[in-house]
Structure 1
Amino acid sequence: MGFLNSRVRPAMLAIGVAAAVVAVPAAAHASTSDSFHVFSRSFVEDPATHTVSLPLHTGYVAGKPVSYVITDASTEKAAEALGVNFAPRLANARGTAAVQKATATPAGLKIPATVDFTPSRVVVPGPTGFPPDQAVPGAEAQPGYSSLLQLPDGTVINAPQIANASGQADKVVTIDRKHGRVVYRETDGFYDHQRVHYVSFEASIPLTAALENAADVPALNAAPADDDSTGVQPAREEIGIVTNGQLGKDNPQRQGLSSALLDGLDPLNILGEVPENDPASEYSPLWDANLAQWTPAAVTAGQVKRVTDFDDLRALAGKGLITAPDGSKFGRSGFLINCPAISIAK
C-alpha cells in the first residue's frame, strides 16, 4: 500500500495506439539500478524518484479513448512480446467476473467498462492510526470494470486503466503521449527478507482502495482463491499486511498500516511471491490480503518487530503472537489488491 501521492488532474487526451498484444519497441529497456533488479524489460525504474515508467496503451470504451498500462500476462509468449511479468495464475481467472473480454479493432482494444477518476480521496487516521476514521477512494470502477482483460486468443493480461475523460489515477506522475510512457509511483515492501518495489492500481474494497490511493474495483474479488476443498486453481497470491507494527519515521523496526497513516510512509507489506520465468510460478499481481495484528500480549512483552518474510508471519501466528484484526486465526482477509511487482534488491 502507498500513501504519499497527491492528486494530479491534467487534461485528458487520446494517447498512443494498441490493437491487441503488441511488442514493446526495442527502445524500451528495463532499468537496473545499483541495488535493484527490475523484473521486466518494459519497466524503467527511477530509484531517485521512487517511480517506474511503463508503456502507455490506448483502448476504447463506448467509443471513447481510455489509457491503460500492461504489467502482467498469463502466457510466456505474451509476456515476452509485451516485456511484462509472466503471471500464469491469471489464466485461472478466465470465465469469472474478474475478467473483461476485450475485442481487437484496428484502432485499439474495445473494452466494456472503465473507471471514474473524479472522486476526491479522503483518508483520516484513527486514534491509533488504523483503522482510519474516514477512508474514501479517489477512483471508482464502473459496473463490470476490471483491470484483467481476456484477449481474443484467451490470454489474460493485467491492464489497469490509468486515465480517461474523467481524469487520471492519483499515483500517475506524468503521461508522455509523444513517447508513449506513463510514470507511476512505487511502493516499498519485502519478499524473502529482500526489499521489493511494486505498484498499486486497484483494490476490491473501498477501505483498502482509499488506503492504497487506488481505484475501488469490486469485480477483482471474483478472481478464484486457492481452495483445497474444491480443487479450484487460484488466480491470486498472498500478501501480508501488518496493522499495528512499530511507529516512527526513523525507527528501523517501523512497519504497518498504523505507521503508514501516522508516519506518512509505506506500510512495508510482505509479498508471497515475485515474478519468474517458470510456468509453475505462483506469482500473481492479484494479492490476496492477509491482515496481521500483533496480539496485546506480544505488544506488552515487547515482541513486536519488523517482519520481512511471509513464512515468518505464519510462524509468528503459529506461536500465538499474530492474529487477524478481530482476534481470529491469521489468514485471508477476503479482499484483493492489484499490485504488480517491479523490482527486487540484489
Structure 2
Amino acid sequence: MAGSSRASVVTPTSQNQDGIPAELPSAIEIDAEDKTVTLPLFQGRGPDDEDVHYVLTETSGLDHALRLGLNWAPKLRNALETPAVQEVSMGMSEQFEPRNSQIRFAGTVDFSSDRNVAPGPDGFPLDAENTQPGSVGDDAYSPFVTTPSRNVVFNAPHVENSTGEHDGLVEIDKESMTVTLELVEGFYEERGELYLSTDAYPADVAALEGATHAPTLSGAPAAGDRDLESSAREPIFPIVNGPMGEDNPERQGLRSAVAGEGGPLNVTRSDQVCHDPQGPTDCSLFYSPLWDVHPIVWTEAAIEEGRRRRLTDREEIIELVLAGDLASAADGPVNSLLGNVRAANAAVNCPIISVEEEGSQSRPSDPYIA
C-alpha cells in the first residue's frame, strides 16, 4: 500500500466488501498525499429544527456496518445509557437510516469560536487558560448516537451547521452531499495509518486536535479500562517528548506538534479490520474510535544515553515502559493490561480511515496505493 509513487489516492470501492477492510468502505476518496478523505454527507435537524450536517464512520452493530460501509466498533455498546451517547428521534422510522431527513439530534455544536493553541513553558503541556477549541458541543451533544430502541450506537460527528464548520473541514458540497476532511497520521503495529480527529475532551486536548470539545465524552466507560464487557474506549499513546526537528526522520511527539513541526504521530492499540464477519474472532473486537489517551514520556536517562527514537508499535512502548526508558505522563487510572501505564482524563474520537497493509512498515507521508 505505501512506499510507492504509483498513486496517492485509494478508492475503497475496489476493496473486498464482504468484511470491514483496511480502508473505510464508505469513503469516496482517500488522498494520502494531501491527507484528506471525502465522505458521504448527511443532513439532520438540530434541537431548534436547524439544519445539521454530519458524517458516519462507526457503528456497534455488525449488520449496520456492512450495510452502510462503516467500521465495526462493538465496544461502543458499552456507552449506552451514559451521557456519552445522545438519543436521536427518527420520525416514523424505527431503524437508523442516514438519508432520513427527519432525524433530529438532541444536541449540537457551536462552530463559531476561533481555535487557539497556546504552548506552555515546555510547549506541551499547553497553557490551558489561553487555549481554546474552535468548536464546542452543548450539554446534550455527543458524536455517538442511538435510536429510541437503544440497542446500537453510531458515530455521527457533526461537521457543519448555521454557526460554521468543523476545523478539520476542507470542502463541503451540499449539492452532491459530500464533505472532505483532514486526516491525521499515526502508527499501528509499525504500519502507517490515517484517521480523523473529530471530537475530544477536555478543552485543551480538543484544541490541540482541532476537534470539537464534547464534554459528554467523559461519561464513556472508562479511563484506563479496555475490557470488552465494560469499556467503550481503546488506548492511544501520544509521546510527549519525542525527537524534535521538522526534517528529522525520527521526529515524533506532542511537543513537536505544538512547535509546528508536524502531527504528533501517535500509536494506537487496535485497528478496525474485520476480514470475516461470520467469524468475529478474526475481527478487531477491541477497536473503538474513542481513544483513551495514555501519554508517555522518554526518561532523562534514555534521552541522555541516546535511546530516544520514533516509536511505531504499542508492544515496543510497553517493553520500554517496563525497561524504564519510558514512563507515564499522566496520573490517572493504571491500565494493568498495558504495563501499568496510566490513562489521562482525556479521550479523542478518532475514526480510523486507512491502515497500511501488513509488511509495509513505512513511515508517514509515504503515498498509499490501492
Instruction: Give TM-score scaled by structure 1 length.
Output: 0.86
Q: Give the corresponding residue for 1:203.
A: 200
State the alpha-carbon separation in 2 of the partners of residues 111 and 270 from structure 1.
33
8 Å CA contact 1:248–1:263 kept in 2: the answer is no
Query: How far apart are residue 91 of structure 1 and its match?
Result: 1.0
Which stretch has the larger CA shift, 160-169 or 260-269? 260-269
Gaps of 5+ in 2: 1-10, 16-20, 92-99, 333-339, 358-370
Identity %: 36
Query: Which of 303, 312, 316 is 1:312 aligned to?
Result: 316
State the alpha-carbon separation in 2 of the partners of residues 264 and 322 from structure 1.
22
Question: Relative to structure 1, is the Cα distance of residues 332 and 182 closer, same or farther in structure 2, using a 3 angstrom cutoff?
Answer: same
The yes-or-no answer on 1:46 pairing with 2:28 is no
Q: Deviations over 1:253-306 (max 9, x none)?
A: 110001111143110000111112254511000000000011112111111111
Question: Relative to structure 1, is the Cα distance of residues 165 and 90 closer, same or farther in structure 2, using a 3 angstrom cutoff?
Answer: same
Q: Give the corresponding residue for 2:144.
A: 148
The yes-or-no answer on 1:60 pairing with 2:56 is no
Question: Relative to structure 1, is the Cα distance of residues 301 and 344 closer, same or farther in structure 2, using a 3 angstrom cutoff?
Answer: same
Query: Which of 64, 71, 76 is 2:62 aligned to?
Result: 76
8 Å CA contact 1:58–1:108 kept in 2: the answer is no
Report SS of the residue matched to 1:306.
coil
Q: Deviations over 1:87-109 (max 9, x none)?
A: 11111111111000111126331
Report SS of the residue matched to 2:117.
strand
Question: Relative to structure 1, is the Cα distance of residues 49 and 152 closer, same or farther in structure 2, using a 3 angstrom cutoff?
Answer: same
8 Å CA contact 2:224–2:292 kept in 1: the answer is no
8 Å CA contact 1:224–1:232 kept in 2: the answer is no
8 Å CA contact 2:223–2:292 kept in 1: the answer is no
State the alpha-carbon separation in 1 of the partners of residues 228 and 168 from structure 2.
37
Gaps of 5+ in 1: 1-28
Query: Which of 120, 124, 134 is 2:118 aligned to?
Result: 124
Q: Deviations over 1:240-263 (max 9, x none)?
A: 000000001111111000111114
Question: Relative to structure 1, is the Cα distance of residues 55 and 125 closer, same or farther in structure 2, using a 3 angstrom cutoff?
Answer: same
8 Å CA contact 1:31–1:38 kept in 2: the answer is no
Q: Give the corresponding residue for 1:331.
A: 342
Q: Give the corresponding residue for 2:172.
A: 175
Report SS of the residue matched to 1:238.
strand
Amino acid at match of 2:355: I
Amino acid at match of 2:12: A
Q: Give the corresponding residue for 1:8.
A: none
State the alpha-carbon separation in 2 of the partners of residues 171 and 99 from structure 1.
22
Query: How far apart are residue 230 of structure 1 and its match?
Result: 9.9
State the alpha-carbon separation in 2 of the partners of residues 230 and 89 from structure 1.
9
Query: How far apart are residue 125 of structure 1 and its match?
Result: 2.5
Q: Deviations over 1:129-176 (max 9, x none)?
A: 212334211111111210000024422000000111100101100111
Query: Which of 241, 265, 268 is 1:268 aligned to?
Result: 265
Report SS of the residue matched to 2:159.
strand
* Displaced runs of 4 or more, over 4 A: 226-232, 326-329
Amino acid at match of 1:216: H
Higher strand share: 1
State the alpha-carbon separation in 2 of the partners of residues 229 and 285 from structure 1.
13
Which stretch has the larger CA shift, 318-327 or 57-66? 318-327
8 Å CA contact 2:197–2:350 kept in 1: the answer is yes
Q: Give the corresponding residue for 2:363.
A: none
Query: Which of 88, 109, 112 is 2:74 aligned to?
Result: 88
State the alpha-carbon separation in 1 of the partners of residues 57 and 228 from structure 2.
28
Which stretch has the larger CA shift, 42-51 or 320-329? 320-329
State the alpha-carbon separation in 2 of the partners of residues 46 and 150 from structure 1.
31
State the alpha-carbon separation in 2 of the partners of residues 321 and 295 from structure 1.
5
Report SS of the residue matched to 1:96.
coil
Report SS of the residue matched to 2:142.
coil
